[in-house]
Amino acid sequence: MAQSGYSDIDATVVNDAAPSSMSHKGKERADGLDENAHRRNTRVGGNSTSPSFVHSEDYFATKRPFCVKIGADGLIGALTELDNQLQASGRPRLLSSKKPTEWLGFMGVEINPGEIGVVNHAGLPKILMNPGTYPPFPFRNWWARSWKGTRGISDTTLFFQGLTVVQVSLNQVAVISDPQNRIFIVRGGGFAAFAVQGTYDVLAVVDQTHLTNHVKDKVTGATLGWMQEVTMPSRIGGSASNYVVAGFLDIPANNVAVLQRGDEMEQVPAGQHCITNSNVKLRGLFTCGENQIEMPTKDIYTRDQVPVSLTIYMKWQLLEPLKLTTHGYNSPYEALRDKAQSILTQIVAHLDYSSMVKQRTVGSDHMEDPSDPSSPFLDALRTQAMDDLHVAALEYGILLKDLAVIDRQFKGDIASTMDKLTTRALQAQVEAANVDRENSNKVKQEQGALQVAQVKAEARKTEAEALAYATTTAAKAQAEAVIIAAEAQAAAIKLQAQAEAEAVAARSNADSRVEDAFAREMEVRRVDVERVKAFGPRTVFVPCETGGVSGSSTSNALMTGMAMRLGHEEAAASASSRK
């Protein structure tokens, strides 16, 4: 609903479902509610010892003529028992005495296993029980008899010439009208009956797990259960009408149904139920779980005649539905709506416009500040509204868990004025917010540029430190390599010299051990040859006593002469060449 008015969108929380916010009186009364009331049958009004409103009577507990319940023997056993009752009463038999034959298989009627044959015998039913082929006339007596086909032994229903057979499975329920128009139901079994006067009419076979009507709460949308009604046609005069004769309920867990008969009401817990009593009416289906809703109130006038519309939030749990229906309400929402409207009207009527428009949220600081102009409104909401509504809800079997005012709309001239002021204030706030946003964006941009510069400087510093470290490490490695190479070379030279000295010493020792004179002479000559090879053919060797080779005086003189001659010839050659 579009309305012009000043809207305060912030929620005014009155009760946050905290037990401490409930008055002592409310706590005592809340303790009186029974949280498990929805789990059992309870009743108000009338005699509590009278039978339950839901169907509980066993139709076959009373012995009825020509009506046999199907037991462990199945349909065949029930038909046999029914046939015995008819014979005992002097009536024609139900089961035919005809037997199938094997010698005439190409003619006659055939009954397969799992089937029975039905024959119209002068208006009365006859049943062929045994499978096989039955010869036609004139091989068998078919006088005043007509073949009407076969029926399945496991068929749900069978109707033929006053014979009624009903068989239902576990989830099925058959609604039957007997010859006296009494309605009964059959669950998980069946019966076979022959109506001498009247008929057994099967009105419906209902699947209790899939009822047709899905019932929902019109306010909260919660599923309350499923139901289905069964009608019976009836003709009055020249017109025919259908009348409800049975009702089925499928109530989910945590839900209940309330049935009414006159001034008596009975609460039925979750499960599958059937109502066949015409005096019993379904008052309603209720959920006992938590529910919540946002609810607008009607216009309320303040003390200075300013109209205001409130939107309130409520959360509740229905614990005792019988109390609610006893007060004439069909849903918890209706009871809470009327009471909340009445309480809020009384509170707002004693408050000024100024005390309602300024405060937007409830808090302990505002509650305890007597100078706050909104304190009367908040105090009233916190104390009177919550306490009164909670106590009133308890009378209806409802536990109120939360209450909040989430919106306030002021109407009339003051509302239009407030709209203009609010629009201007919002525009100013938007402009200020835009300026703040632009300034904030610029500051963030500068901060971002500064952070980028700092990151780049840190990167350059890191690169320089890495380069210096790499250079220092390379120099140290090179110096260490030179030192290691020099040390290795010195060690090698030292080892080489030591090896050569050892070799010379070894050779000297070997030479010293030679005792043959000729061998020694030959060694001396070889040394001379090697010496000449080493120093060249033009080298002049001067013999001396101190030389490395000791010889006779004659040899020394000869060698000295040869040297002097060679020297003289060399000098002469040099002089001639200069000329």
**Shared-domain flag, residues 367 and 452:** no
Long-range contacts of residues 119-124, Cβ cutoff 8 Å, at least 24 apart:
119/145, 119/146, 119/147, 119/148, 120/145, 120/146, 120/148, 120/161, 121/92, 121/96, 121/145, 123/161, 124/92, 124/161, 124/162
**Shared-domain flag, residues 28 and 128:** no
78's CB contacts (< 8 A; 6+ apart) are 68, 69, 70, 71, 165, 190, 191, 192
Alpha helical stretches, state H, 74-146:
74-88
**Shared-domain flag, residues 484 and 561:** no
Domain boundary pick from 513, 534, 554: 513
3-state secondary structure of 206: strand
Q: Residue 332 is part of a domain; what is its CATH number?
A: 3.30.479.30
Instruction: List C-alpha distances in Å: 509 to 283, 505, 543, 567, 578.
Output: 140, 6, 25, 38, 52
Count structural domains, the chain: 4
Element (H, E) at 69: strand 67-69
Specify if 137 maps to a domain: yes
**Shared-domain flag, residues 540 and 462:** no
**Shared-domain flag, residues 394 and 475:** no
DSSP 298-352: PPEE-TT--EEEEEEEEEEEES-HHHHHHTT-SSHHHHHHHHHHHHHHHHHTTS-
Specify if 265 maps to a domain: no
Specify if 112 maps to a domain: yes
Q: Identify the pLDDT of residue 516.
A: 77
Q: Identify the pLDDT of residue 3.
A: 39
3-state secondary structure of 115: strand
**Shared-domain flag, residues 509 and 542:** no
Mean pLDDT of the chain: 79
Q: What's 496-518 look like in SS3?
A: HHHHHHHHHHHHHHHHHCCCCHH
Distance CA 35, CA 180 (A): 44
β-bridge mates for residue 150, sequence order: 117
Specify if 281 maps to a domain: no
**Shared-domain flag, residues 380 and 361:** yes
**Shared-domain flag, residues 508 and 529:** no
**Shared-domain flag, residues 164 and 184:** yes
By percentage, how much of the chain surpasses pLDDT 90? Answer: 18
Q: Identify the pLDDT of residue 104.
A: 67
Q: Identify the pLDDT of residue 5.
A: 40
Specify if 59 maps to a domain: no
Measured at the alpha carbon of residue 269, what is the angle toward residues 264 and 270, in degrees to the nearest 5? 145
Q: How many residues does the chain have?
A: 579
Has this prediction a pTM greater than 0.75? no
Residue pLDDT tens, the chain, 579 long: 333 343 333 333 333 333 334 444 444 455 556 565 555 556 565 555 565 667 667 788 888 888 999 888 888 899 999 999 999 998 988 888 888 877 666 677 888 888 888 988 888 898 888 888 887 765 566 777 788 888 888 888 898 988 999 999 888 899 999 888 888 989 888 899 998 888 899 999 999 889 999 999 888 888 999 999 999 888 787 788 888 888 999 999 889 999 988 888 888 888 888 888 888 888 889 998 888 888 888 888 888 788 888 888 888 899 888 888 888 888 888 888 888 888 888 888 887 776 676 554 433 343 445 455 445 555 656 667 778 888 888 888 899 888 888 877 877 776 677 667 777 877 888 899 899 989 999 999 999 999 999 999 999 999 999 999 999 999 999 999 999 999 999 999 999 989 988 888 887 787 777 777 787 778 778 877 877 777 777 777 666 654 444 555 666 666 666 666 666 666 677 666 665
Model pLDDT for residues 492-533, shown as the tens digit of each residue: 999 998 998 888 888 778 777 777 778 777 877 887 787 777
Q: Identify the pLDDT of residue 12.
A: 32
Residue 205 tokens read as 């076979």
Specify if 232 maps to a domain: no
DSSP 1-62: ----SEEE-S-EEEE-S-GGGS-HHHHHHHTTS-TTGGGS-EEESS-TTSPPSS----GGGS
Q: Identify the pLDDT of residue 248.
A: 92
**Shared-domain flag, residues 574 and 466:** no
Residue 196 phi/psi, 5-degree rounding, is -75, -40
8 Å CB contact between 290 and 266: no
Element (H, E) at 431: helix 413-512
**Shared-domain flag, residues 466 and 498:** yes
Q: Per DSSP, which regions of 79-209 are E strands?
A: 109-111, 115-121, 124-128, 132-134, 145-152, 157-160, 163-167, 172-177, 183-187, 190-194, 201-207
- DSSP label at residue 137: T
Domain boundary pick from 195, 221, 253: 195
- Positive or negative: CA dihedral 376, 378, 381, 387: negative
Show the domain range for 461: 435-513
